[in-house]
Amino acid sequence: MSSVNLTALKASAEDLERRYAKFSDARLSLDMTRGKPCPEQLDLANGLLTVLGSDYRAADGTDCRNYGGLDGLPESKALFAAFMEASPKEVLLGDNSSLALMHDTVARALSHGVPGGDGPWSRSPVKFLCPVPGYDRHFAICEHFGVEMVNVDLYEDGPDMDRIEHLAASDPAVKGMWVVPKYANPSGATCSARVVERLAAMRTAAKDFRILWDNAYAHHHLTSSPPALASLLDACKAAGNADRVLTYGSTSKVSFAGAGIAVMAASEANVAWMRRHRSRSTIGPDKLNELRHVRFFRDMDGVRAHMEKHAAIIRPKFDRVSSILRRELGDTGLGTFTEPLGGYFVSLDTMDGCAKAVVQMAADIGVKLTEAGATFPYGRDPRDRNIRIAPTLPNLADIETAMQVVAVCVKRVSLKKLAG
């Protein structure tokens, strides 16, 4: 962050108050909180609604209306194996929520343990490494189960690997970590090949250490030349640590957010482990919905073509957020923000100690932002500076207004703080 030009800021104070009052008078009701697709994005997949017609049979003749099959149809496993860059033997399909697969991974590791371990994790205290800022629903799972979370900084090329390696190697209570490896929520960071390699090869004090690799935005590019992400599953296999990683994905932001398909890809031992647990807990996933997805997308070319249509809709929204933040905050030293190459979020860092006040001030005049702190374990941002912005759902005019409000609030709060 460049140094603050306090003189310039003070000179603009009156203007700021005028702008704030104008927004206040406008009685806004804008919501930038949720990483939800907009209706135009959902429309792209409307073919899913009718693609099945009355043909309910899988390629092998399976009647998808009936019971049977615990981890997915052969053709959907083939499609989602390609989706996850794994082999069909390494994938297992879930219901509509990859979060559920991650939750169940943690729950089952705690209650029963994982392959290569010594039984239930819950027998002794468990810690997870949490790259920050990160995804609140990952942290909520840990908090729910009493798993202690340890913050680790997330850089542009992935988590602080020196610290990860140190913590993983020195503390046997460190049983796992969360990573959103591509277009991280909220910073947009993508793990470099070197980070992937170090994660795969590092020494861990816990022999049953697990990386929960939430590749939620694997195919969600905003640019035509997306950054590469190496396969952590392949890297782990190469390093002799095949069981270290479980990877997750879904079509929530590909097809329909409420009615997509979730998938886990991992070593065959880990997949067998999850399958065994699922054999106790479910009749199996919805095969008709799998069939809809296979018929609609056909293959990864279909998925990629579809994702380009998504990008065409949301890229202008991200561009608008960037242009306003650049114009308003660019040379002020009051905030830094990401300009992601994919994913669903923009991460804005204010000066330390300002985020909560900015979010509150914006809310006061009708602009809802994700709660400050939400991107950190326990909802506590130690520097109180991170704000997550979700540009996909609102239209451009609303984004324009909301981001101006955010900028005005950042400046007002900063000025107050600096004037102290």
Q: At 4, phi and psi to the nearest 5?
A: -80, 135
Which class for 239: exposed (0-12), middle (13-18), buried (19 or more C-beta within 10 A)? Answer: middle
Of the candidate spans 56-64, 238-246, 304-312, 362-370, the one that interacts with its own copies by CB under 8 A turns out to be 56-64
- Is residue 37 within the footprint of its own copies (CB under 8 A)? yes
Give least dist CB 102 to its own copies, A.
9
Give the span between the Cα atoms of 248 and 83, in whole angstroms: 10
Amino acid (one-letter) located at 109: A
Give least dist CB 380 to its own copies, A. Answer: 18
**Pair 350, 381: CB distance under 8 Å:** no
Does 272 participate in binding its own copies (rule CB under 8 A)?
Answer: no
Shortest separation between residue 323's beta carbon and its own copies, angstroms: 27
Task: Pick the closer one to its own copies by CB: 217 or 337.
Answer: 217
Q: What is the CA radius of gyration of the chain?
A: 23
User: Applying CB under 8 A, does 378 fall inside the site for its own copies?
Assistant: no
Task: Tell me the one-letter amino acid at 324.
Answer: I
Rounded CA gap, 101 and 95, in Å?
Answer: 9
Nearer to its own copies, 26 or 288 (CB): 288
Among 10, 15, 17, 63, binds its own copies (CB under 8 A): 63
42 part of the interface to its own copies, by CB under 8 A: yes
Residue 363 binds its own copies (CB under 8 A): no
Of 60, 67, 224, 225, the residue at the interface with its own copies (CB under 8 A) is 67
Q: What are phi and psi of 66, to 5 degrees?
A: -95, 175
Distance between CA atoms of residues 208 and 205, nearest Å: 9
Nearer to its own copies, 107 or 272 (CB): 107
Give CA–CA dist 38/393, Å, rounded: 4
Give the number of other CB atoms < 10 A from CB of residue 44: 18
Binding residue for its own copies, selected from 1, 28, 52, 205, defined by CB under 8 A? 52
Amino acid at 245: V
- Rounded Cα distance between 386 and 384, Å, is 6
Q: How far is CA 79 from CA 62, 291, 369, in A?
A: 17, 11, 36
CB of 103 to its own copies, least distance (A): 4
Q: Is 13 in the site for its own copies (CB under 8 A)?
A: no
CA-closest candidate to residue 186, choices 344, 68, 36, 304: 344
Residue 150 in contact with residue 127, Cβ under 8 Å?
yes
x/- contact string, 120-159, with its own copies (CB under 8 A)? Answer: --x--------------x--xx--xx--------------
Which are the contacts of 87, defined by CB distance < 8 A and separation ≥ 6?
81
Whole-number minimum distance, CB 246 to its own copies, in Å?
Answer: 16
* Nearest CB to its own copies, comparing residues 5 and 97: 97
Number of residues that bind its own copies (CB under 8 A): 53
Minimum CB separation of residue 359 from its own copies in Å reads 21
Pattern 91-110, its own copies, x by CB under 8 A: ----xxx-xx--xx--x--x
Give residues with Cβ within 8 angstroms of 23, minimum separation 6.
Answer: 365, 366, 367, 401, 404, 405, 408
CB of 37 to its own copies, least distance (A): 7
Nearest distance, CB of residue 89 and its own copies, angstroms = 22
201 vs 70, 245, 256, 303, CA distance in Å?
Answer: 32, 11, 36, 32
Closest CB 348 distance from its own copies, rounded Å: 23
- How many CA atoms lie within 13 Å of 294's alpha carbon, on the beta-carbon side? 24
The upper half-sphere exposure of residue 84, i.e. CA atoms within 13 Å in the direction of its Cβ, equals 36
Site string for its own copies, 273-312 (x = CB under 8 A): ----x--xxxxxxxxxx-----------------------
Candidate segments 25-33, 47-55, 206-214, 333-341, binder of its own copies by CB under 8 A: 47-55
Under rule CB under 8 A, residue 313 binds its own copies: no
- Please identify which residue in 30, 32, 45, 408 interacts with its own copies, judged by CB under 8 A: 45
CB atoms within 10 A of CB 51: 16
Q: Which is nearer to its own copies, 55 or 162 (CB)?
A: 55
Residues in contact with its own copies by the rule CB under 8 A:
34, 36-37, 39, 42, 45-46, 49-50, 52-54, 56, 63-69, 95-97, 99-100, 103-104, 107, 110-112, 122, 137, 140-141, 144-145, 252, 256-259, 277, 280-289
